[in-house]
Amino acid sequence: MKIRNQVLSFIREHSLIQNGDRVLVACSGGSDSMALLHFLHEERNSLHIDVSAVHVNHMLRGEESEEDCRFVERFCSERLIPFYGRAIPIPDLLAVEKGNLQAICRRERYNYFEEVMIEGEFNVLALAHHADDQLETVLMNIVRGTALNRSPGMQISRDISNRKLIRPFMGITKMDILRYIDEQGLAFREDSSNLKDNYTRNRFRHHILPLIKEENENASHSAVKWAERQNEDERFMNELAEMEFNKAAKPDGKGGITLDTVQFSRIPPALQRRTVLLLLNYLYDQSQIGNQLIEAVWNQCKSADGNAELYLPDGTKLIRRYQTVHLERHPEEQQKTEALHFPIDTWIDAGNGIRLKWTRTDSGEDEHPSMERWFFNLHPDEQPLCVRARKEGDRIQLPKLSSPKRVSRVFIDAKVSIEQREQLPLIVSAKDEVLAIPTFRYGNRFSSVCKGNESYILFVADQF
């Protein structure tokens, strides 16, 4: 009963849930998420909300992963909780992208969450992070040095694509959750990977948190309060920095940006680094920006003596000319796809190792069955098609979205590197409307399954 009151009080204090909210609970099958799903389902009438569950099978642990999914689905079926689930081949994606496993899992997981929220008209996504998770996150960010560039911990709530992400359990600890599990007689699945020290979070959880809690058993609650205040301060400071940034910086319309160093020198020192961070955010993803890069650019922005040139990651060049600092894409490093005509019934090399061809569905042509293919319709005034690199202002109408989304935002949300963004080709209509980004995202008129009313078919291959 005490835990129930704690969570409900925390929800009210932070205005996490409103009457009529449609809440989607991310549920892995572990103790934390099972407790959250059960809690919100039990309190759905008192909170006046609808509750559903979503589960992602990352396909990393074979049968164990599949049983996790079946377990959550059975739990939902027994309680008539609407369930959404998908298996995502993370090992295959990892083999192709050669990226960070955790980053790829998170990207694909959140992409699916967004898809389900749109499909089911959910306005709230609930995650089961608790106070101990917050303490781990704060400590890891301090040790890594990333706490210098952003808020040190997870936010209790934040906006995601015009919807809301909440963490209702942030006011309680893992011990509280296990006590709730025991009181309610709930079953859960234990992820075997959580027992290993392969991941940084596990090492902090197994070896560092116990030592801290020996010194102060309330350390996790203190971390939640401290991180919340830091987040509030950070938001305010960033608002001030953005005002200064808008005075001192100006985009050049070609993907670069220019900073007035005289105006920059008038910015209070406490805001200068944040202003530099905004400058770098214009060109990089957050994950690419480290302390060394910030310091290097900051030193150039502070100086007004002579000329200087600095080569930055991903083909970016900083040029300082007395009272201005200009950041631009380094021409020698760029490998953009040149615009080219895309005639029907003709294979073309679209760049980045991608080959494309489109033809009428009634042509009777039978390409290799394993080749990627998409069915679509096209108005006569949208022809001829063209393939080109992205440019500022490009938007694409993705399935299930009410309005076109900026291509740059699509890339950022999917954590696509700057280099990859410049190389991926776009298929555009005669009206210069972006229809598809082959191998990556396809507009709302494309379907991987022939529904019988499409006039054209697009073939995508990485070799002849």
ω into 384 cis (within 30 of 0): yes
Q: Which two tokens stand for residue 11?
A: 């929800």
Is 408 labelled as part of a ligand binding site? no
Cα–Cα distance between 360 and 103 in angstroms, integer? 39
Cα–Cα distance between 188 and 171 in angstroms, integer? 21
Please answer whether residues 450 and 373 qualify as being in contact, where contact means their C-beta atoms are separated by less than 8 angstroms. no
Please answer whether residues 165 and 64 qualify as being in contact, where contact means their C-beta atoms are separated by less than 8 angstroms. no
Is 65 labelled as part of a ligand binding site? no
Cα–Cα distance between 285 and 413 in angstroms, integer? 9
Which residues have C-beta within 8 Å of that of residue 63, sequence separation ≥ 6? none
Is 20 labelled as part of a ligand binding site? no
CA 145, chain centre distance (Å): 21
Please name which of 204, 200, 199, 196 lies closest in space to residue 220, comparing C-alpha atoms.
204
Please answer whether residues 104 and 6 qualify as being in contact, where contact means their C-beta atoms are separated by less than 8 angstroms. no
Q: What is the dihedral of CA 279, 283, 285, 287, to 10 degrees?
A: -60
Q: How far lies 104's CA from each of 158, 215, 301, in Å? A: 21, 36, 34
Which residues have C-beta within 8 Å of that of residue 463, sequence separation ≥ 6? 353, 355
Is 28 labelled as part of a ligand binding site? yes
Q: Which two tokens stand for residue 191?
A: 């992820």
Is 31 labelled as part of a ligand binding site? yes
Cα–Cα distance between 422 and 424 in angstroms, integer? 6
Longest dimension (CA), the chain: 74
Per DSSP bridges, beta strands 348-351 and 385-388 are unpaired
Is 256 labelled as part of a ligand binding site? no
Place of tokens 């009080």: 9
Per DSSP bridges, beta strands 405-406 and 441-442 are unpaired
Could you please report the per-residue DSSP string of 155-201? -SEEEETTEEEE-GGGGS-HHHHHHHHHHHT------GGGGSSSSHH
Please answer whether residues 193 and 28 qualify as being in contact, where contact means their C-beta atoms are separated by less than 8 angstroms. no
Please name which of 455, 453, 444 lies closest in space to residue 383, comparing C-alpha atoms.
455
Annotated binding site: 28-33
Annotated binding site for ATP: 28-33
